[in-house]
Amino acid sequence: MLSRIHGGNLREVKEKYGDDAKLIDFSANINPLGPPTSAYKAILASLTKIEYYPEDNPKELKRALADYLEIEPENILLGNGSAELIYFLANYYRPRKTLIAAPTFCEYELAVRAVGGEPVFFELSPKEQFFFPKDSILSQLGEVQMLFLGNPNNPTGNLIRQGDLLEIIEEAKKQGLVVAVDEAYIDFVEDRNRFSLIGEAIKRDNLMVLGSLTKFFALAGLRLGYLVTNGRLVEEWQAKRPPWNINCFAQAAGVAALKDRRFVQESRQIIQANREDFQRNLSQIKFLKPYPSEVNFILVEINHPQFNSIWLQKTLVRQGILIRDASSFRGLNDRFFRLAVRSKRENEKLIEVLKEILG
Ligand SMILES: Cc1ncc(COP(=O)(O)O)c(C=O)c1O
């Protein structure tokens, strides 16, 4: 059985290693710029709202999100993080079998298992740079009722071509399958509209796109995610989800963040430039192989005769650096770890330490 392991467990790591120094966290894939200042201001301005229930179907937030995504509010279902919506979908459709990538984000598998379903896996192979195996997926569709895809995929960081996805969605429709595409990291992609399926999801019955404000807007603690699909399904699901699932601070900060176009532009530019430098520098370190990435994290393979990613994580924690040992991802092993792209200075610090450790 897969266990629930995520990055960003700073407290747990500090307890385990007895280190209360400040850690640089490369293990959680959050925008290193932190939340927009506008979001902090919005939260402070709404402190007095905590004695009231939050708006159940928050109009202003939905309008801001609809404008950001260039769709209509009728196509949006909000969630307490996109994780809530992954579980909502699994619970609503209750698929007997669900097709899921290996490696990918563990919650797709945990959500289908939680409702008694069984995951069926397709392999993303390091030998093929984790390239999306469209033909093998098409051939497996007959075995399942649902398909979960990460685009971009965590932890591999790569994107699926829109043409390939549309082919799969069309075939899934013919066979009566539902497809959920998780775009939690798509805001980091340079040309998000070339890859996002939001425009398709609003027209279709068998396609749901999931999104999140956790990663790009660095609002992980507030819990704010969304689902986009056709208006009829959204209306039905509005009545079936728990009430008041978006708290007053998430509502206020969400509106401010989504309207903060300068933050959006700056984040994309800085992270992209930092990723390119980071990737180039990592590829020059002996025994390390970074895989291509379109987002704010990089999957790296360590091919050292003695050392693996578990050893590397332990060694780096002692130097105040936390990485995500990726051996817990189904389909990977202890040769893989994942690094979030952080500030130029922090990335350079890690490169220096890695060079020292690995020679
Ligand atoms: C691919 C992917 N989807 C969804 C989530 C969950 O995001 P949220 O904070 O919106 O629940 C994560 C978090 O790690 C993730 O990596």
Is the torsion defined by CA of 199, 204, 207, 208 positive or negative? positive
Percent over 70 (pLDDT), the chain: 96
292-302 per-residue burial string, b: 16 or more CB within 10 A, e: under 16: ebbbbbbbbbb
The residue among 39, 16, 1, 83 whose CA lies nearest residue 325 is: 16
CB within 6 Å of ligand 1 — which residues? Answer: 6, 81-83, 105, 150, 154, 182, 184, 212, 214, 220, 225
What is the distance in A from the centroid of ligand 1 to the CA of 305? 34
C-beta contacts of 312-318 below 8 A and 24+ residues apart: 312/337, 312/357, 313/337, 314/17, 315/357, 316/350, 316/353, 316/357, 317/13, 317/17, 317/19, 317/23, 318/17, 318/19
C-alpha 266 – ligand 1 centre gap (Å): 22
User: Can you say whether the dihedral through the CA atoms of 7, 10, 11, 13 is positive or negative?
Assistant: positive
Percentage of the residues of the chain whose pLDDT score is greater than 90: 92
Question: How many Å apart are CA 359 and CA 287, to the nearest integer?
Answer: 9
What angle is formed at CA 126 by the lines to CA 124 and CA 132, rounded to 5 degrees?
35
Q: Number of C-alpha atoms within 13 angstroms, CB side, residue 67?
A: 13
Contact 197, 183 (CB under 8 A): yes
* Bridge partners, 119 (sequence order): 98
Mean pLDDT for the stretch of residues 139-164? 97
Structure confidence at residue 170 (pLDDT)? 97
Question: What would the pLDDT profile of 218-274 be if each residue is shown by its tens digit?
Answer: 999 999 999 999 999 999 999 999 999 999 999 999 999 999 999 999 999 999 999
Q: Where are the alpha helices (DSSP H) in 246-320?
A: 248-259, 261-283, 309-317
Nearest atom, ligand 1, residue 225 CA: 10
For residue 327, the model assigns a pLDDT of 95
291: amino acid identity, one letter:
Y
Q: At 86, is the secondary structure helix, strand, or coil?
A: helix
- Ligand 1 centroid to 17 CA: how many Å? 26
Average pLDDT of the residues in 177-206: 96
| Average pLDDT, rounded, for the chain | 95
pLDDT of residue 32: 96
What would the pLDDT profile of 7-56 be if each residue is shown by its tens digit? 777 767 766 666 556 789 999 999 999 999 999 999 999 999 999 999 99
| Phi and psi angles of residue 337, each rounded to the nearest 5 degrees, phi first | -140, 160
Tell me if 256 sits within 8 A of 179, measured CB to CB: no
User: Could you identify the atom of ligand 1 that is nearest to the CA of residue 85?
Assistant: 11
> Per the structure block, which two tokens stand in for 7?
């990055």
- Please provide residue 129's backbone torsions phi and psi, each rounded to the nearest 5 degrees: 55, 30
Distance 278 CA to ligand 1 centre (A): 23
pTM above 0.85, yes or no: yes
Please give the distance, rounded to the nearest whole angstrom, from the Cα atom of residue 357 to the centre of ligand 1. Answer: 32
Q: What is the pLDDT of residue 17?
A: 63
Q: What is the pLDDT of residues 311-341, one digit of tens each?
A: 999 999 999 999 999 999 999 999 999 999 9
Question: CA angle, 322 as apex, 80 and 289 as ends, to 5°?
Answer: 105
* Average pLDDT rounded to a whole number, residues 136-154: 97
Q: Are 81 and 241 in contact (CB under 8 A)?
A: no
Q: What separation in angstroms does the CA of 222 have from each of 79, 213, 285?
A: 11, 9, 37
Token pair listed for 121: 């896996």
The pLDDT tens digits for 60-95 are: 999 999 999 999 999 999 999 999 999 999 999 999
